[in-house]
């Protein structure tokens, strides 16, 4: 997968959050950084709420809430490797290894460095019992070419050695074409800013590509909080949560039902805000089914109160056209039933 975006959009923090979450879940994560020194990344993890400590055997650990995992920087010595193995066996989380990458050294340097870190961090038998994840931050800093064989070798290595490979990539205004690396990855997260209220910019995340096609499309807001790290607010779920949390005043007027069936349930959307005596305007361009939506209001009223009457004043459609519209929608057929209907 790839995390891409302009400078300052939160790519490294999102990659660190993913890496630390996988380590806390009991997996081995190698974070190869060419943009910052490992100690600066640890500072970002502290900002996200992780506290640093040392266990009884001297292995450094990061902890937040009820999760913890071991971590090491650059070269993993024998003591740290042994401690990581014991961590896996005891079920006390996984391990995060932060390693510095040489800038613009090409695929061979990345491959050799990753292989060395894998070998140092944990032996093969213990590694097979856990998922492995590798993060390269950023791919632009470790190689400045876009040759097909370089990326095929890199992605082939990541697929062979890792269960999850994460590439961080930087985008610029002058380079908007789809790069070869974006064709080869299975998923692309695009981070950007969205201007709201003229002067305020919020961070947004969009899944541009996903081979499984089972993602929630659109731009989703996210924020970076002190003590919590990255929080993502999915667009649809966030809207629904706002409606659920909204506190209502006690109803003073009788509510009007606008529900015909489970497929046409506007009462759920309007939260019964339509009351008797109120006026509702349905507005939209041509061919947006405004008439049918208005007729659904009448049909819902007749369904809720079968002995009631309703009135449709049409200034554009004649009675035959209105009847044709009603017959098009099965939910509206109640408007044509019975002997009480009349056309004026």
pTM for the model stands at: 0.62
DSSP alpha helix (H) spans, the chain? 11-24, 38-47, 78-90, 107-121, 124-127, 139-142, 148-161, 180-184, 235-245, 266-270, 290-304, 319-328
- Residue 25, CB-side half-sphere exposure with 13 Å CA sphere: 12
CA distance 233 to 272: 26
CB of 101 closer than 8 Å to CB of 139: no
Tens-digit pLDDT profile for the chain (344 aa)?
899 999 889 999 999 999 999 888 888 888 888 888 888 899 999 999 999 988 777 778 899 988 888 888 865 566 666 677 666 666 667 888 888 876 555 556 666 666 666 665 555 544 555 567 888 888 887 776 656 676 777 777 777 767 788 989 888 765 555 577 787 788 899 999 988 777 788 899 988 888 766 667 778 889 999 998 998 887 765 455 544 454 544 555 677 888 888 778 887 777 667 777 778 888 888 778 888 888 988 888 888 888 888 888 888 788 888 888 888 888 888 888 765 555 55
| CA 24 to each of CA 61, 210, 327: distance values in angstroms, whole numbers, following the listed order | 10, 25, 58
- Whole-number Å distance between alpha carbons of 269 and 235: 16
Q: Is the dihedral of CA 314, 318, 321, 323 positive or negative?
A: positive
For residues 184 and 152, give the distance between their C-alpha atoms in angstroms, rounded to a whole number.
8
């Amino acid at each position: 997968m790839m995390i891409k975006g302009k400078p300052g959009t939160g790519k490294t923090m999102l990659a660190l959050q993913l890496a630390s979450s996988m380590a806390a879940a009991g997996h081995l994560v190698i974070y190869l950084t060419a943009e910052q020194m490992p100690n600066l990344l640890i500072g970002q993890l502290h900002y996200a709420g992780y506290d640093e400590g040392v266990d009884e055997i001297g292995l450094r650990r990061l902890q937040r809430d009820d999760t913890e995992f071991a971590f090491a920087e650059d070269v993993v010595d024998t003591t740290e490797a042994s401690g990581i193995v014991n961590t896996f066996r005891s079920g006390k989380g996984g391990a995060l290894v932060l390693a510095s990458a040489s800038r613009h050294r090409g695929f061979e340097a990345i491959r050799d460095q990753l292989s060395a870190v894998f070998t140092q961090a944990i032996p093969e038998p213990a590694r097979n019992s856990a998922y492995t994840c590798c993060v390269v931050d950023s791919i632009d800093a470790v190689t400045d070419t876009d040759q097909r064989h370089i990326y095929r070798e890199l992605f082939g290595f990541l697929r062979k050695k890792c269960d999850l490979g994460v590439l961080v990539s930087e985008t610029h205004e002058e380079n908007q074409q789809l790069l070869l690396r974006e064709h080869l990855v299975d998923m692309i997260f695009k981070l950007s800013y969205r201007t709201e209220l003229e002067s305020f910019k919020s961070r947004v995340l969009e899944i541009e590509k996903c081979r499984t096609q089972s993602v929630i499309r659109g731009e989703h807001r996210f924020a970076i909080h002190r003590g919590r790290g990255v929080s993502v607010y999915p667009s649809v779920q966030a809207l629904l949560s706002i409606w659920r949390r909204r506190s209502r005043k006690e109803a003073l007027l009788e509510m009007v039902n606008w529900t015909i069936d489970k497929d046409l349930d506007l009462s759920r959307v309007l939260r019964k805000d339509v009351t008797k005596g109120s006026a509702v305007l349905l507005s939209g361009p041509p061919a947006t089914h405004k008439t049918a939506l208005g007729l659904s209001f009448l049909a819902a009223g007749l369904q809720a109160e079968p002995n009631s009457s309703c009135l449709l004043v049409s200034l554009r459609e004649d009675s035959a056209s209105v009847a044709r519209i009603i017959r098009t929608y099965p939910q509206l057929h109640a408007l044509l039933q019975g002997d009480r209907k009349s056309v004026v």
